[in-house]
């Protein structure tokens, strides 16, 4: 009954058009005031303690690094490098867009930033080369979502934070720990590369079928020059992933190092950004960080209320008693998350759903790292379909296409992503192979 009241109140507030973060806080306050004996000062305390975790510091630093790279000309150099490698294949510029999105995703950690940075440069070039606007917009909208899956990823950090400290037990009653940020980063490498290949194959097939333009094959010298120009941006991938795996620094420290490194290459190496532009980037990053941290603090408050009422434990037992098994449970979760993606943005879905669904998954014998990556792939799909797919709105602004027209344009790649989601869901080794190989 408590769960029904809480979620009904939350949905009612959402239907009024209230921002999700405020709806979460208002739901908790209303329930606490009217139906519990919890002291109200606990609410204020939980709002602050919800964001005092050290891991959360990674979020503003990765946002800052992404903004420096977006404004610092890194995207343009990565597109040139990708084009020099595969521009001569069918749909060359489109394939270069997929590869450039994968590379930029690996240094920015943000899907909308990837769509904006790569799309603003690549889409006009594709139209000039003779590609239909719909083809280019479909590629950028879906390939931009790689920013969520290829590490470092802000949403991975949120999943780790949302599930930290949960009391989870496996099928035989054994204690199971939550997924760490490092585990998720390493687990995202293989699925991220595979999804890039899936999107690339879809792009190549459509280009081959429709005989879209191809660029001349680049010489070895041209490829070397393009690599040399982009190498400073590419080194950030090595710095972050290598530093975390080697134990040189934690994921949070890696985020801080990446922000400083991105500042140095944008201002002093590439010199595409002037020192007087830095305050504007800092302010933009602070605005975005404040928005996400406010959502996190209210989601932590919501999670406290759910835990205090014993709702995750009751739901876990209820789902286990249904006898769905892990196959039926994962199918149900995928449907639930895809539906949630119609009305909510990814960070909110992860922060609200992960603390509820992850203990159930663990009880059914599902690895929390595998479950986290599956949730993130779901969020990627949600970014690319209406009505609140953020990538759609960013790509719409760049391509000057309406949302309905763009929705039709992304459909071939969206269907490929759904097939990939099915594979990730039911073949755990795709996700767990690389971390296990590293001994994690």
Residue 6 within a domain: no
Q: How far apart are CA 389 and CA 381, in angstroms?
A: 9
pLDDT tops 70 at residue 178: yes
160-171: b (≥16 Cβ within 10 Å) or e? bbbbbebebeee
229: helix, coil or strand? Answer: helix
Share of the chain above pLDDT 90, in %: 12
List the beta strands (DSSP E) in 73-156. none
Residue 352 within a domain: yes
The domain tally of the chain equals 1
- What pLDDT, in 10s, does the model give residues 31-57? 887 877 777 777 777 777 766 777 778
Residue 383 within a domain: yes
Residue 224 within a domain: yes
Residue 282 within a domain: yes
Q: Write the DSSP string, 20-75.
A: HHHHHHHHHHHHHHHH----THHHHHHHHHTT--GGGGHHHHHHHHHHHHHHTTHH
pLDDT tops 70 at residue 430: yes
Residue 14 within a domain: no
Average pLDDT over residues 331-339: 86
Residue 300 within a domain: yes
292: helix, coil or strand? Answer: helix
Phi then psi for residue 311, to 5 deg, are: -70, -45
Domain span holding position 414: 56-437
Average pLDDT over residues 228-239: 84
Share of the chain above pLDDT 70, in %: 95
214 or 376: whose pLDDT is higher?
376
Q: To the nearest whole number, what is the mean pLDDT of the chain?
A: 83
Residue 407 within a domain: yes
- What pLDDT, in 10s, does the model give residues 59-91? 888 888 888 877 767 778 888 888 888 888 888
Q: How far apart are CA 134 and CA 141, in angstroms?
A: 10
Assessment of whether the complete model's pTM goes beyond 0.85: no
pLDDT tops 80 at residue 167: no
List the beta strands (DSSP E) in 248-324. none
């Amino acid at each position: 009954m408590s769960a029904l009241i809480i979620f009904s109140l939350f949905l009612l507030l959402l239907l009024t058009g209230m921002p999700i973060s405020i709806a979460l806080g208002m739901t908790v306050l209303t329930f606490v005031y009217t139906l519990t004996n919890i002291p109200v000062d606990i609410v204020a305390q939980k709002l602050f303690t919800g964001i005092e975790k050290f891991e959360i510091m990674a979020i503003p630093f990765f946002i800052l690094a992404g903004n420096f790279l977006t404004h610092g000309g890194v995207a343009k150099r990565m597109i040139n490098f990708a084009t020099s490698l595969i521009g001569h294949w069918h749909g060359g510029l489109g394939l270069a867009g997929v590869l450039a999105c994968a590379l930029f995703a690996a240094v920015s950690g943000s899907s909308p930033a990837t769509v904006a940075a790569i799309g603003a440069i690549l889409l006009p070039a594709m139209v000039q080369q003779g590609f239909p606007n719909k083809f280019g917009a479909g590629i950028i909208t879906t390939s931009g979502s790689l920013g969520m899956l290829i590490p470092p990823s802000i949403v991975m950090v949120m999943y780790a934070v949302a599930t930290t400290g949960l009391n989870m037990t496996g099928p035989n009653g054994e204690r199971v720990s939550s997924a760490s940020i490092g585990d998720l980063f390493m687990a995202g490498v293989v699925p991220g590369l595979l999804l890039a290949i899936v999107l690339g194959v879809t792009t190549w097939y459509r280009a081959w079928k429709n005989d879209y333009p191809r660029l001349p094959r680049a010489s070895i010298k041209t490829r070397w020059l393009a690599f040399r120009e982009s190498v400073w941006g590419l080194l950030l991938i090595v710095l972050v992933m290598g530093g975390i795996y080697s134990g040189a620094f934690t994921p949070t420290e890696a985020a801080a190092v990446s922000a400083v490194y991105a500042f140095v290459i944008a201002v002093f190496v590439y010199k595409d950004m002037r020192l007087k532009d830095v305050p504007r980037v800092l302010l933009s990053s602070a605005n975005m960080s404040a928005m996400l941290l406010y959502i996190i603090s209210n989601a932590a408050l919501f999670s406290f209320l759910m835990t205090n009422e014993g709702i995750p434990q009751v739901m876990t037992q209820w789902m286990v008693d249904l006898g769905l098994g892990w196959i039926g449970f994962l199918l149900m979760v995928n449907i639930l998350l895809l539906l949630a993606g119609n009305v909510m943005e990814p960070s909110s879905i992860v922060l609200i759903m992960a603390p509820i669904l992850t203990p159930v998954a663990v009880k059914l014998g599902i690895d929390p790292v595998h479950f986290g990556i599956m949730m993130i792939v779901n969020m990627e799909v949600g970014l690319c379909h209406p009505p609140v797919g953020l990538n759609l709105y960013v790509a719409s602004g760049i391509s000057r296409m309406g949302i309905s027209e763009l929705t039709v344009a992304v459909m071939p790649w969206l269907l490929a992503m759904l097939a990939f989601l099915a594979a990730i869901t039911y073949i755990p080794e795709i996700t767990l192979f690389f971390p296990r190989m590293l001994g994690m």
